[in-house]
A = this chain, B = another copy of it.
Amino acid sequence: MKEIEARRSIRKYKSVEIDKKIVDRLIEGARLAPSGNNRQPWHFILVTNRETREKIARTAHSQTWMLTAPLFIVCIADIKARMESDDEFYVDEETASFELKRAIRDTSIAIGHILLEAVSLGLGTCWIGWYTQKEIRPILGVPEDKFVLGIITVGYPDEVPEPRPRKSVNEIIHNERW
């Protein structure tokens, strides 16, 4: 697929706003992702506010290039979407729960859809995961039972990076058994 081949992590964006209809298409891509038991355990916060983006970038080890992106999509895995219980939960990087792993799995597929849909729309993205739950959640008012799985910077690319090196097929493929 051409979108898979063309996708790069983009860390420099043009100063051009993204039309709402284009953003809607990104979200539609995520919404149609598959999920275990069709639970769709995902939420997305669309952040364009400059001050909020600055706070997020600071939390992400002050990667100032992030601010060239006019839109951040904060992607959240929601363990509650997989549970019947109304009990209070707390999740973070060290939570053991299988349900959290499942919510991370499903939300990752949905985010992957956003990255590819972006390519098809001429947009660039970068998935940022370098922050802590403890620091990022208060900035956005995210409850402590939700796991912020990634911040996706979105914008029109202002760089054309080379592909990153990859493992060879032989390093990742096994025939019939390990």
Contacts and interface: CB of A to CB of B under 8 A. Distances in A.
Contacts of A115: 34, 109
Contact of A176 (B45, B177, B178): B45
A176 B51 CA distance: 11
B45 A177 contact: yes
B31 A172 contact: yes
Interface in A1-54: 1, 3-5, 7, 9, 24, 27-34, 36, 38, 40, 42-49, 52
A111 B113 contact: no
Contacts of A90: none
Interface string A38-76: 101011111111001000000000000000000000000
A38 B165 contact: yes
B4 A29 contact: yes
A173 B43 CA distance: 6
B4 A52 contact: no
A141 interface: yes
B40 A1 contact: no
A104 B107 CA distance: 11
B96 A46 contact: no
Given A7-B32, A102-B129, 17 more contacts: A1-B3, A4-B113, A27-B169, A31-B169, A31-B172, A32-B166, A36-B127, A40-B172, A43-B178, A49-B176, A93-B98, A94-B97, A108-B108, A108-B112, A109-B109, A113-B116, A116-B116
